[in-house]
Chains A and B, each alone.
Chain A
Amino acid sequence: MFKIDRRLIQNFDWLTFVTVIVISVIGIMTVFSATRQPGEAVQSPLFIKQAIWLAIGLLGLMAFVSFDYIWLSRISVPAYVAGLILLLMVLVSGKTGMGAQRWLSLGPVAFQPSEFFKLIFIIMLSQYLSLLRSEVGILQLLRIFLVIVFLPFILLVKQPDLGTSIVVLIIFFSMLLTKGLQRKAVVLVVIICIVSMPFLGNIMWTGLKDYQKNRLIAFIDPEVDPSGIGYHINQSKVAIGSGELLGKGFLKGTQGPFRFLPERHTDFIFAVFAEEWGFAGSFVLLILYLLLILRGLDTVRKAKDEFGMMLAAGITFMFSVYFFVNVGMTLGIMPVVGIPLPFMSYGGTALLSNFISAGVLINIRTRRFTLFY
């Protein structure tokens, strides 16, 4: 027992640990700046809430470092079923926020099951892929898609949580790539994609809510502006650009607090940060995220078994997708799908689930040496 403990401390992944904490603290500062109310005595308490969630997140992280991650493979199926049931419950009885049902009330707390579902999904997929001896063939691909991916994808589209459903798909494909696909399977995927594109596109488009359609139109041409849907993007670009090289300075940004920028403390938090800290600050922040992601990939390489490898890959891809889509959207080079910036955006459930995911990553790296029995 003691020997293992000593090894755990020696091998602990401090880099990932410190990086996510630093990014989260920057996030809390930015939430404070974004939600401050100039000229009013009462200040928004959101940043305090976020700080409390950070503390809860740290506990979650430690909890998910404390046991051998192999346990996750054993609970993957029940966890997956439970996750699906939660998603179903959201559809049946969830709270509505912004025209979409994503919240479940648990007494006084409301939480978004889809936030935790991503991790459960990755665990399930890792378990399945790690059991395969060889690269993924056509039949296996179909089976995985039908058994693991299809149902949650439909449930998420129904909510509708466009962001998470796309993220789930991207994570699925990138994990397949990491595992390796047989050439025939690659060809099949490509053909199916090309053939079904018009159909899928049509189904997706008619299934989208108006605000989602507007976002896509606005992405293609922000200046078209029918009833101001390019507004988000334009204001975000103004905020970021006006930061120039060194930024306007902490608490000196104007786009957020004067409410020109919508969703300033959630999806567009990067714009608030870039306005106040400029190119220099943004560069540092990018490096932090790059560090987190490259470290994650390194953990994939070093993991002691196939399950750990797939798990680390899935989590790292999840962080990457969120980062690129979110920052890309604030910069106007990606469509506006409402997904948060990991560790920075305001949101308790998301922060907790991200910390737990980071905990799993640290867990895999910390236990990268096969233990003696």
Chain B
Amino acid sequence: MPTEKNSPERIRIIAYILIAGFAIILVRLWQLQILQGSELRKISESNRLRVIGVPAPRGIIYDRNGIALVKNVPYFCASLIPAEFKSDNLAPLSKLLDLTEEELEDKIEKAEQSPFTPTRLKEGLSLKEVSYIEARRSDFPGLIIEIEVNRGYLFGSTGSHLVGYLGKMSPKQAKAAEFRDVPSDAFVGQWGVEKLFDRTLRGTAGQRVIEVDALGREIRLLMEKPPVKGEDLSLSIDIALQSEAEKAFEGRTGALVALKPYTGEILGYISSPSFDPNKFAKGIASGEWDLLSKDKNLPMLNRAIQSQYPPGSTFKIIMAIAGLAEGVITDSSRVECRGGISYGKWHFGCWRKGGHGSVSLHRALVESCDVYFYDVGKRLGIDKIHEYALKFGLGKETGITLGPEKKGLIPSIKWKMEAKKAQWFLGETFVNSIGQGYVSTTPVQMAVMMSSVANGGNVYRPTILKGSPPKLVMSAGVSPETMEKVKDALKGVVNEPGGTGWVAKSNVTTIGGKTGTAQVVGIRKDSKLLSEKFRDHAWFVAFAPVDKPEVAMSVLVEHGGHGGSAAAPIAKKAIEAYMLPIEKKRELARVQN
């Protein structure tokens, strides 16, 4: 054995030392539990300590130019420490707080199991109520005013679908792991960025342990753990673009998504009509919630990601790129438009009944000739169309994180076999070539498509934080010459005589774009005769400046009629607002607040 002779001896000594250590602990336990036991038991029972939570200020949300979108506001609550409550105070307390005695009794009874933790009696007090209660507080032992951190939304309903709102935790949320450290009464993000980044914005609540006298008045501070403020967030959105565009919507339903073409940062995000998050912040009254949730205009629907619309003529951008890239057309090949073509017993019309005459690709895009693109569709076949639409981000989620996103639909032969158990007809190719029929897209997909066309074919995932690293989803791999030809035509749509998007022509910058009119009902009639709900949806996708794009967007106005007249002006205003110098934007923000 390598062990030395004296080792066991040493181990025995160590054992004695350890046993002595145990003896010391035992003596100390005896001292505390037996000798001082009854005294310490008394202290523990009549504990005069109160643990008061101190809410953490929430991080402030800024736009990309450092303009604050929210502020923290105090939210006052009257609370009671059940252990200190005297039951003969019930009637006067109910009068003070304007609650019925039954309500009050019920609340106190529920809280009695944790007698030293304050329980909420009434929330959302006004300053007047607070001072009224504070003045009479000494008559009601155990009654305290607690302060919670709540939000004021500086731009009201502007950007509300994006910024979101705060609310109390639902019972389900209270059980979730992510809210474990959150006091059950606290406000947490329930929508938009407030919800998405709740953890970051939330901070960590602090604690004050105070000793109180028999009347519950604070004698001294025993321990203080200051709250840690949540982190501020700088969003990628531009509040000037956002608010000018929302104004331009004039209350019509629809959506707008604006992106930075080379990064995917979201510059603007509208789902109209929106809601006023300040109403939620006040703890929305149930009647008001009903009003919001039953409103036939669906203000709580996140249209930008959850509504799907046929893209109409905006889809011709994809058709043009696919046609050129696949070599089925060239920029000089021409088609004769006589106002429609016949196929079998069917007639497919052009929107201009008289026809466009002989058109090249450029004019076909500028004037949005349907017949030209029926021909392109016939040459490509639906599967090629499907392939190119997917290359530019349509037909699948964009990966935006603002909520559950719809996928849209880009049909293919395989899809029809599986979904409809039927064969594909050439006639259907015609219809889908001009963005009608099965094909459907969400506004955010159209923005991604426009943005990738503007940047030469790269699809980025839309991101919401300023300066977040670009997330390239894929590259379409279409030659720069092709992209330039199509972009030049899109410039013509706005800037050339006869262009369908002429309304968007701007003196501030060169805008390129494409109009679209998505049919709501199958047969086209004169829009003036139709009641509004049968009117077509208006699309406009745009980017600017044409030679070095800084912003790309999609605008959709539900039942707006023609894209050129209803949606294009909104895009123009949004783009012009984005081009304003920063000082000007700050000034606009000051005026609005």
Contact = CB atoms under 8 A, between A and B. Distances in A.
B32 A240 contact: yes
B21 A242 contact: no
B22 interface: yes
Nearest to A306: B2
A237 B32 CA distance: 7
Nearest to B222: A228
Interface stretch (A36-44, A86-94, A193-201, A351-359): A36-44
B184 A40 contact: yes
Interface string A304-318: 011001000100000
A266 interface: no
Contacts of B223: 227-229, 231, 262
Interface stretch (B110-118, B141-149, B157-165, B472-480): B110-118
Contact of A242 (B44, B171, B175): B44
A283 B26 contact: yes
Interface stretch (B9-17, B525-533, B554-562): B9-17
Contact of B18 (A227, A260, A274, A293): A293
B29 A297 contact: no
Contacts of A37: 114
Contacts of A180: 4, 6-7, 10
B10 A320 contact: no
A278 B33 contact: yes
Contacts of B47: 254, 258, 260
B37 A301 contact: no
B10 A331 contact: no
B174 to A, nearest CB: 6
A244 interface: yes
A237 B222 contact: no
A45 B181 CA distance: 12
Nearest to A258: B116
A331 B28 contact: yes
B38 interface: yes
A178 B174 contact: no
Contacts of B130: none
A259 B47 CA distance: 12
A297 B44 CA distance: 39
Nearest to B50: A260
Contacts of B18: 290, 293-294, 297, 320
Given A39-B112, A238-B43, A227 B224 contact: yes
Contacts of B32: 237, 240-241, 331
Contacts of B19: 290, 294
A274 B29 contact: yes
Contact of B221 (A228, A237, A274, A286): A228
A39 B113 contact: yes
Nearest to B176: A42
Contacts of A361: none
A282 B33 contact: yes
A324 interface: yes
Interface residues of A, number: 61
B25 interface: yes
B33 A39 contact: no
Contacts of B30: 279
Contacts of B49: 235, 260
Contact of A324 (B2, B21, B110): B21
B91 interface: no
B33 A241 contact: yes
B426 interface: no
Nearest to A312: B11
Contact of B29 (A174, A225, A240, A260): A240
B36 interface: yes
A71 to B, nearest CB: 19
A240 to B, nearest CB: 5
Interface string B561-590: 000000000000000000000000000000
Given A228-B209, A324-B21, A38 B51 contact: no
B7 A254 contact: no
B344 interface: no
Nearest to A236: B32
Contacts of B221: 227-228
Nearest to B211: A228
B24 interface: yes
A177 interface: yes
A282 B30 CA distance: 10
A274 B7 CA distance: 37
Contact of A286 (B10, B25, B114): B25
A295 B4 CA distance: 20
A46 B555 CA distance: 49
Nearest to A280: B33
A368 to B, nearest CB: 11
Contact of B37 (A44, A242, A309): A242
Contacts of A257: 114
Nearest to B175: A42
A225 to B, nearest CB: 8
B283 to A, nearest CB: 21
A339 interface: no
A243 interface: yes
A239 interface: yes
Contacts of A254: 44-45, 47
A259 B30 CA distance: 25
A258 B207 CA distance: 13
Nearest to A320: B18
Contact of B14 (A178, A306, A328): A178
A123 interface: no
A227 B225 CA distance: 10
A286 B34 contact: no
A260 B21 contact: no
A4 interface: no
A39 B6 contact: no
A297 B11 contact: yes
A23 B3 CA distance: 32
A365 to B, nearest CB: 14
B308 to A, nearest CB: 34
A242 B10 CA distance: 40
Contacts of A293: 18
Contacts of B43: 238, 242
B417 interface: no
B209 A240 contact: no
A35 B10 CA distance: 43
B29 A282 contact: yes
Given A237-B40, A245-B37, A282-B33, 15 more contacts: A39-B111, A42-B175, A180-B10, A227-B223, A228-B224, A229-B223, A235-B49, A240-B32, A241-B39, A244-B33, A254-B44, A258-B117, A290-B18, A290-B22, A301-B7
29 contacts: A40-B184, A42-B175, A44-B180, A174-B14, A178-B11, A180-B7, A228-B224, A238-B43, A238-B44, A240-B32, A240-B40, A241-B44, A242-B40, A242-B44, A242-B45, A244-B38, A245-B33, A245-B37, A258-B51, A258-B116, A259-B117, A279-B30, A282-B33, A294-B18, A303-B3, A309-B3, A324-B21, A331-B28, A331-B29
Interface of B: 2-4, 6-8, 10-11, 14-15, 18-19, 21-22, 24-26, 28-30, 32-34, 36-41, 43-45, 47, 49, 51, 110-114, 116-117, 171, 174-175, 177, 180, 184, 209, 221-224
Interface of A: 37-42, 44-45, 130, 174, 177-178, 180, 225, 227-229, 231, 235, 237-245, 254-255, 257-260, 262, 274-275, 278-279, 282-283, 286, 289-290, 293-294, 297, 300-301, 303, 305-306, 309, 313, 320, 324, 327-328, 331-333
Which 4 pairs across A and B sit closest by C-beta, in order of nearness?
A: A241-B40, A39-B113, A228-B223, A244-B37
